[in-house]
């Protein structure tokens, strides 16, 4: 479902294009937005969902298949067994 405010980002199975509660939007400004006005924000060693703002920590630059912060850190998914 929709991520919760302050909750960590996590990997989930992809839904259909009509599965709106899993839909993420990459904006022209470089924000990764979810429903409910939440944006993915660089935290202390992890990405978290925060209320969308003008924070530079919410700007992600697309470099090929990667998303990077303005400080050059890549967004990755760490899988645990």
pLDDT in tens, the chain (81 residues): 455 555 666 666 666 655 555 678 889 999 999 877 899 999 887 888 899 999 999 999 988 888 888 888 888 876 665
Beta pairing class for 60-63 and 66-69? antiparallel
CA distance 80 to 51: 28
Predicted structure pTM score: 0.71
**C-alpha span between 74 and 25 (Å, rounded):** 18
Number of residues that this document lists for the chain: 81
Domain ranges of the chain: 1-73
Q: What angle do CA 30, 74, 61 make, to 5 degrees?
A: 20
pLDDT of residue 19: 57
**Half-sphere CA count of 28, side-chain side, radius 13 A:** 0
């Amino acid at each position: 479902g929709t991520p919760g405010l302050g909750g960590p980002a996590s990997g989930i199975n992809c839904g259909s294009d009509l599965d709106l509660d899993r839909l993420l939007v990459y904006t022209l400004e470089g924000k990764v937005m979810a429903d409910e006005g939440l944006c993915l924000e660089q935290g202390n060693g992890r990405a978290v969902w925060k209320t969308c703002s003008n924070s530079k920590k919410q700007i992600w630059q697309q470099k090929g298949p990667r998303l990077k912060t303005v400080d050059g850190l890549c967004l990755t998914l760490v899988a645990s067994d």
